[in-house]
Amino acid sequence: MEEKKKEQKSDKKKVVVALGGNALGSNLIEQMVSVSEAVKPIADLIEEGYEVVVTHGNGPQVGVIQDAMTLLSRENPEKHPHFPLSVCTAMSQGYIGYDIQNRLREELLDRGINMDVATCLTQVEVDPQDPAFKNPTKPIGPFLTKAEADKKAMEKRHIFIEDSGRGYRRVVASPKPKAIVEIDTIKALADTGHIVIAAGGGGIPVFRTENNHLKGAPAVIDKDLASELLAEELDADYLIILTAVENAALNFGKPDEKEIGDVSVSEIKKYMEEGQFAKGSMLPKVEAAVKFAESKPGRTALITLLEKAKDGINGLTGTRIHA
Averaged pLDDT for residues 292-311: 94
CA distance 159 to 166: 17
Alpha-carbon Rg for the chain, nearest whole angstrom, is: 19
Of the candidates 57, 45, 19, the one whose C-alpha atom is nearest the C-alpha of residue 222 is 57
More confident site: 8 or 114: 114
Interacting residues of 101 by C-beta distance below 8 A, sequence separation 6+:
117, 118, 119, 197
pLDDT of residue 3: 40
Helix (H) or strand (E) holding 168: strand 168-172
Predicted confidence at residue 39, as pLDDT, reads 94
Which pTM does this prediction carry?
Answer: 0.86
Note the pLDDT tens digit of each residue in 178-190.
999 999 999 999 9
Name which of 79, 62, 98 is nearest 219 in CA terms: 62
Cα-to-chain-centroid distance, residue 109: 25
Active site residue 79: no
Q: How many Cα atoms occupy the beta-carbon half-sphere of 66 within 13 Å?
A: 22
What pLDDT does 83 receive? 83
Q: How far apart are CA 85 and CA 298, in angstroms?
A: 37
Q: Which of 20, 22, 201, 202 is catalytic?
A: 22
306 against 17, higher pLDDT? 17
32-65 residue pLDDT tens: 888 999 999 999 999 999 999 999 998 788 888 8
Phi and psi at residue 239, in whole multiples of 5°?
-120, 120
Active site residue 223: yes
* 151 catalytic per annotation: no
What's the mean pLDDT in 66-74?
79
CA angle 236, 22, 265 (to 5 degrees): 40
pLDDT for the residue 8: 40
pLDDT over 70 percentage in the chain: 96
Is residue 152 part of the annotated active site? The answer reads no
* pLDDT at residue number 2: 41
Catalytic residue among 25, 59, 200, 285: 285
Q: What pLDDT is recorded for position 317?
A: 95
Calculate the average pLDDT of the chain.
89
| CA neighbor of 242 nearest in space, from 57, 95, 49, 60 | 57
Q: Is residue 112 pLDDT above 80, yes or no?
A: yes
The active-site residue, picked from 20, 21, 63, 203, is 21
Q: What is the pLDDT of residue 81?
A: 75
Indicate if 212 belongs to the active site.
no
Catalytic residue from among 223, 291, 308, 310: 223
Select which of 20, 57, 138, 201 is catalytic: 138
Task: Say if residue 80's pLDDT is above 80.
Answer: no
Give buried/exposed letters for 170-188 (b at 16+ CB in 10 A, else e). bbbbbbbbeebbbbebbbe
In this structure, how many other beta carbons lie within 10 angstroms of the beta carbon of residue 110?
9
